[in-house]
């Protein structure tokens, strides 16, 4: 078998086109353009790259954005005061604090300070809790993007055995919630594996749908995958590559070349899940502007 390639770039562009049209309609009705405030603490180069991609996407769809860069020595109180200022600023629809934060700051504490109605990342406990309860909420962008890919390619989730490798708050955990809820896009029997899982292959080999978000280059080899499985690779790992101009290349958590011979569907890295994350952020920011999840009370 040779897997069909899931084209995240193409689907992300379709999502962005839809958001672009909806933003134009929203603004055409006399509303101001949606506004996303990004907060970066410190100067992490990877965070700057991610923020660059988010900023370009905003410009592309007609969402206004600005990034506030704060010193990495900022105190928790000072940072939370900045967030509280944007919480009450009616000109700001979405607030995104880029992670990771410097080690002296608690990301839980900081995320909880964000007004959940502006939490377009879907990380606030109110949104995580509402996701678990199957209530309207901002959903974490990467797992929401994976669900969008299933929808686009008509990949059935219901009654399948989905195995998620990685249990992070950003990807693995909300991914498992989305797959397992008894709603129209879920209903999968879902297993979560993590670094304490004793025999990873025992689980992955039984997966009809295998989603890997472990942050370990080429963790998943062909012998760990069931014939005909749907394989979604969330990993983006930089590895040294002398043949490339940059001196590195991006590879996933899945050994693509061997696994593609066994899977029915597979996402490449880059060009798979990555572009979907940014596209879903655009969707969430427009939703926040329309307040269609949390209407004004």
Which residues of the shown chain bind ligand GUN in the complex (CB under 6 A)? 96-99, 121, 141, 170, 277
Other Cβ atoms closer than 10 A to 293: 17
Phi-psi region of 24 (alpha: psi -120 to 50; beta: other; left: phi over 0): alpha
Q: What is the phi/psi pair of residue 104, to 5°?
A: -80, -5
Min dist. Cβ of residue 143 to ligand GUN (A)? 10
Burial of 231 (C-beta count, 10 Å sphere; 0-12/13-18/19+): buried
User: Is the Cβ of residue 82 or residue 141 nearer to ligand GUN in the bound state?
Assistant: 141
The residues that are catalytic are 54, 98, 121
Give the nearest distance from C-beta 195 to ligand GUN in angstroms.
Answer: 19
For ligand GUN, which residue has the nearest CB? 99
Nearer to ligand GUN, 3 or 111 (CB): 111
Tell me whether residue 163 or residue 276 sits nearer to ligand GUN (CB atom): 276
For residues 249 and 239, is the Cβ–Cβ distance under 8 A? yes
- In the bound state with ligand GUN, the residue whose beta carbon lies nearer, of 97 and 147, is 97
Nearer to ligand GUN, 61 or 141 (CB): 141
Cβ proximity to ligand GUN: between 138 and 256 the closer is 138
Q: Helix 141-152 and helix 274-290: axis angle, to 10°? A: 100
Strand partners, 209: 162, 230
27 neighbors 33 (Cβ within 8 angstroms): yes
Q: Do 21 and 162 form a contact (C-beta atoms < 8 A)? A: no
């Amino acid at each position: 078998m040779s897997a069909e390639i899931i084209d995240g770039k193409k689907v992300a562009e379709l999502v962005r086109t839809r958001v672009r049209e909806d933003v134009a309609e929203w603004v055409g009705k006399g509303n101001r353009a949606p506004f996303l405030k990004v907060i970066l603490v410190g100067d992490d180069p990877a965070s700057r790259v991610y923020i660059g991609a988010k900023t370009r996407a905003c410009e592309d769809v007609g969402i206004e954005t600005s990034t506030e860069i704060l010193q990495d020595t900022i105190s928790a109180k000072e940072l939370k005061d900045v967030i509280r200022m944007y919480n009450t600023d009616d000109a700001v629809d979405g607030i995104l604090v880029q992670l990771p934060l410097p080690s002296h700051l608690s990301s839980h504490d900081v995320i909880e300070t964000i007004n959940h109605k502006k939490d377009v990342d879907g990380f606030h406990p109110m949104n995580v809790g509402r996701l678990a309860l199957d209530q309207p909420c901002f959903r974490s962008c990467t797992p929401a993007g994976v669900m969008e890919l299933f929808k686009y390619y008509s990949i059935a989730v219901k009654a399948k055995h989905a195995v998620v490798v990685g249990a992070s708050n950003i990807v693995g955990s909300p991914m498992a919630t989305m797959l397992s809820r008894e709603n129209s896009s879920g209903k999968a029997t879902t297993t979560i594996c993590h670094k304490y899982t004793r025999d990873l292959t025992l689980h992955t080999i039984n997966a009809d749908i295998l989603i890997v978000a472990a942050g370990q280059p080429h963790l998943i080899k062909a012998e760990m995958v069931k014939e005909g499985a749907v394989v979604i690779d969330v990993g983006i790992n930089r590895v040294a590559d002398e043949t490339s101009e940059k001196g590195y290349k991006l590879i996933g958590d899945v050994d693509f070349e061997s696994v593609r011979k066994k899977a029915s569907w597979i996402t490449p890295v880059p060009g798979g899940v990555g572009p979907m994350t940014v596209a879903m952020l655009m969707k969430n920011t427009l939703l926040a502007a329309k307040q269609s999840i949390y209407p004004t009370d």
